[in-house]
Structure 1
Amino acid sequence: MSDEINDAWVLENSKVQPQKIDSPPPIADSKKRKSPPTGNGQSKKQQKVQEKKAPENRAVYVTNLPSDATVEEIEDVFKRFGMIDQGVDGNPRIKMYENDKGEFNGEALVVYFKKDSVNLAITLLDGYEFRLGDTTNGTINIQEADNTYKKNNDGIKIANKLVRKERKAAQTSRAEMQRKLAEWSDNESEVEKTYAVKKNKHAKMCIIKKAFILDDLEEDVRAILEIKEDMRNAASKCGDVTKVVLYDHEPEGIVVVRFTEFEAAELFRQQYHGKRYNNDNLQVTIADDKPKFKKSSKGGDDSDDGGRKVEPTLEDYNSEASTSL
C-alpha cells in the first residue's frame, strides 16, 4: 500500500507544471491602412506626392521685343545668361507668340536648363535694348514666367509621337547638356561678369558741353590747353583717362573725355554734370556713338584708336591754368 502511495506521489510531481505565457501581439492586418486625411482633405501620402511634383520654374517671359526678331536672335541674346533648354526635337525651347493675324506680337517665352539663369537674365537684361544701341523699339521687359506654360507644352506632344530611335537621340542631347552644365562656373560673380550684356564701347566717353565760349579761344591761344588740362585733372579723379579732345569749332563749347572703364565715365557724369565752370554750368552726358563734332588740329586727335596718348600740357608753355574745376 505504501508503495502504491509513493508511486502516485512521484507520478503526480513528475508532471510538468504549465508555464504562464503572455498573449501574443495581435497579427497586423496585411492590408496597409490609408493615412488619415489632414485638414485639407488630403492624406500625407498625397501631400508628399504633390510636394515632389512641385515644378521648378526655369522660364522667363519677355515682352516688347522687335516685331522682326527671330528665334536665332533671341537665342543669341538670352544664352549669355545660361544654357537654354532643348526640346525632345533638339531645338531650343523658345516660344514666340503671335497675334490673330499670325504675326509675331513681340512676346516670347524662353526656358532655361537651370533655374539660376532666370534671375541672372532678369537682373542683367530687363530694361535694356534688345539690340544694343537701337532705341526705336524701346527696352524689353523680362519677368519670371508662371508655370502655365507647362500645361500646353509642345515638347510633350512631340514626345508622345517619337519613335524609339528619336527618344534615344533626345536622351543623348539631354546628356550632352548635363555635361556642358558640369563645366559651368560655380562662381556667380564670374558668370555675371562673363555673360553680362555687352556695353557700347563709346559709353566710355563723356561729352561735356558749355566748357568754353568760342570768342575766348580766339582771344587767348593758350585757352585750349588750359581747358583740356582742367578737364583731364577733374576726370582723373574718377578714373584713368586716355584722351581729351576739345572741339573748337562747336558753339556749344564741347570737350570729350575718354576713360578706360565704363564706370569711370558714369562717375564723372554724376559728379560734374551741372557743375559751375567758366561762368556756366557744365552739361555732361555719356556718348552713345562716336563723336562727330567739328574742330581744328588744335583741339587734339579724336581718332578712335583706344590707345593712351601723351598730350601737351600747360607746363610745356610755362603757364598755369587760370580756372579749375
Structure 2
Amino acid sequence: MSMFYVNKDESRSMMHERAIVAEISSGEITAQTMVWSDGWPKWKPIGEVDNFKSILAEHDPSLSATAAARQSVEKAAEKWYYIDEKQAQMGPFEVSIIRSLIGNGTVKTNTLVWCPSLSDTWAKAGEVDDIKHVFADAKKQKNDGWFYTDKYRAQKGPVLEGVLSQLLVSKDITEDTLVWKEGMRDWLPLKDIPSLATLALNALLPPEARVEMGEAGSNGGDAKISGSGGGEKGGAGDEKVGQKRKRKKKKNKKWKKFENTPHVYVTGLPKDVTRDEIHDHFKKAGIIDTALDKGPKIKIYMDKTGKPKGDGLVSYMKMDSVPLAIELLNDSQFRPGITIKVSKAEFQQKGDKFIEKKLTKTDLKFKRFKKQQALDWDEDGVNQIKGFRIVVLKHMFTPEEAKPDKEKFYRELEAEVGSEIESKCGDIDKLTVFENNPDGVIAVKFKSGQAAAECIKVMHNRYFGQRKIECVYFDGKTNYKVGESAEDLKEREEAYSKWMMGEGDSKS
C-alpha cells in the first residue's frame, strides 16, 4: 500500500508501506504525521491507521502507557453502526451493545459494521479484531447454554450453569423452573435434570457451605467448598484404579438423647386450657415453632379419657428462648390464682423400639421456609417477611352459587376478591379461583412476603357472604383442583347438542 504523507517542512511525499515503517523507526514519521491514500475522503494522522499502530507504539514516545490507556478508553466510547437484514443503517451504538447484539444473533459474522477506527470502509463483523472473538463466545454459550422461563413464563437465555446457580441463590428461579438446551426434545423442570438439581440443592445450603461455580458455569474440576469440612482424606481421587468401594452397612436407627432442644415443659395448667391461650402467654420469650399444617407447636397432654392433664410442651424456634422462658415464666400467673411451672423439656424413649418420624422433602422444605420466614428481617430493621408469598383462602364460595352462569360468576368473583385484597394487603402476582372446589378455595400469590402476611391478618376469620373465611399459607403440596363432575359434564353435553341442532338459536 502506498500513501502520501506530510513532511516536517510541510511538503508532501509519496512512499510505500515498507518505507514508511523505516521512517517510523528512524523517528521521521510520528503518530501525528498526516497521511492520505487513494479512496480516503480526507487526510488523517497515521496513528489512526491500523497497519501502523503496533510499530508506532514501539518507536513513538508519544504512545506511552498513559497514551495507550487513553486510546483504549476512547476506543470503548467509539460509536458503532451496522447494516440490518433490510439494508437499513442502525446506530450509533457503543461496542458493548454490538457485543450484545452478536450474542442474541442480531449481528452475524457477515453483517457489515463500521466505526471511526475502521477508516472509511465497512467491514464484516466476523473479520473485525475488536469483536470477532465475541462470535466464538456466543457459539459456546449457545451450544452449552440453557434457556429458562421466568416467573412470567417468558423465555430467557441462553446462559451457562454458573448463571443458573446465581439465579437459584437469588431466588429469581426455582427447582420447578422449566429449562431447555440444544439436544433436548422438551422443556423439563430444573429439578428433573441431575446436573441442575445439584445446583438447586447447592442453593439451599448456607452461604459458607455452598459450592462455588467457576466462570465456565460448571463445577467440573473448578468447584470448591466454601465452608470447612472439605477435608483432605477419603477423596474419590485417592482411590486406586479398579478398587471397589466398600458398601457401608446401613446402621439401625437408635434413640439419641438430645441435650440442646428448644422445648420447655409446663405444669400447673388449668384443665380447660387452650393452645391459643398457651401461645399468647409463652410468645413473650420468643418465636414459637410452627407445625406443618397444625399451627403453633404446642402440645397439651391428655389423660385416658381425652381431657387435659395439666401439663404440656411448648417448642420454640431458637434455643435462646428456652432459658428466657424459664426465667420469665416459671412461677408466673397463667390466670388469676393459677401459677405454672416451666422447665427445660427432657425426652425419653417410649417402648422397646425407636420409630423414626419420616418427613417428605416437601415437608422439610416447608418447615425450613416457615422458620426462615419467622426469623427474617429486612435491611432497614423493619419486620419485613421474606418467606412465603402464597396464601389460601377457604369458604369464599360454594359450587352451587356458580351454577346459573359459571363463567360469569367466577370471573366476577376473581375481580372482586382481587381488587379488595390488593387494596388492603399489597400487590398481587397471581390469583387463582379453584372452580367447583367444595371448600370454595382461592389461592393468591403476592409479590412480597409482607403482603401475604398482611392478607392472613386481614382475612382470617373474617366473614364473606355469611361464611367464615379461613386464610392460611399454602402448604406447598395440596392440590385444590377439582375435575368436572358427571352432572356438569352431562349439562354441558346437552347444551352443546341443543346448539348443534339449532334449538338454542333465537333467530331460527
Normalising by the smaller structure, the TM-score range is: 0.3 to 0.5
Larger radius of gyration: 1
TM-score (norm 2): 0.23
TM-score (norm 1): 0.35
- Relative CO higher for 1 or 2, CA cutoff 8 Å, sep ≥ 6? 1
